[in-house]
């Protein structure tokens, strides 16, 4: 029976063939894989951006904390903590939950030979953390002066 010339095609002529079905399933599979890849990449990018933002917050918080120390306190060995661990969640007391940021603070002499060099210090704060198998880090550096802004406290 020829399906093309019949005035009313029989029921068997109105269905999809197996080849048409397999091709359509292959196309649907490719589209689903592409969407999954895009969503997975987007979630990963958002996670990395959030971790970067939290690292910047931690470094800024530590730098702002330097303003509260006097110059003598900065020069006293052991007064300013040289290492610290901070969780991803600022409100969490559990350091084992989520990403942990490991930081170091190094206070050194002013690196340039100038007349005001003895009354200045260089502060470097480094932060390291792990995103999956990727080791990441960020660093802030600043200078602190003996007659700096912390002298506004009387």
Give, for 128, the enclosing helix (H) or strand (E).
strand 120-131
Check if the beta carbon of residue 71 is closer than 8 Å to that of residue 143.
Answer: no
Q: Are 118 and 130 in contact (CB under 8 A)?
A: no
Q: How many CB atoms lie within 10 A of CB 54?
A: 20
Residue with tokens 């589209």: 31
**Predicted local distance difference test score (pLDDT) of residue 34:** 96
C-alpha distances out from residue 142 to 28, 40, 50, 111, 122, Å: 55, 38, 24, 12, 6
The mean pLDDT of 14-43, rounded to a whole number, is 92
- Judge whether residue 6 has pLDDT over 60: no
Interval 101-152: pLDDT, tens: 999 999 999 988 888 888 899 999 999 999 888 999 999 999 988 876 555 5
Confidence check: pLDDT of 92 > 80: no
Tokens of 17: 């063939």
pLDDT at 154: 46
For range 16-23, the mean pLDDT? 88
Nearest-CA neighbor of 48 among 92, 99, 84?
99
Coil/strand/helix, residue 146: coil
- Domain ranges in the chain are 16-152
């Amino acid at each position: 029976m020829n399906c093309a010339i019949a005035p009313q095609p029989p029921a068997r002529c109105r269905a999809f063939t197996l080849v048409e079905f397999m091709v359509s399933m292959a196309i649907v599979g490719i589209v689903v894989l592409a969407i999954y890849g895009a969503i997975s990449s987007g979630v990963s990018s958002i996670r990395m951006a959030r971790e970067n933002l939290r690292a910047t917050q931690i470094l800024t918080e530590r730098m702002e904390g330097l303003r509260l120390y006097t110059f003598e306190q900065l020069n006293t060995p052991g007064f300013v903590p040289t290492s610290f661990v901070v969780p991803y969640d600022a409100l969490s007391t559990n350091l084992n939950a989520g990403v942990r940021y490991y930081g170091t603070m190094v206070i050194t002499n002013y690196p340039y030979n100038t007349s005001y060099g003895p009354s200045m210090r260089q502060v470097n704060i480094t932060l390291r953390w792990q995103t999956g198998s990727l080791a990441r880090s960020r660093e802030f550096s600043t200078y602190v002066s003996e007659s700096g802004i912390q002298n506004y406290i009387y």
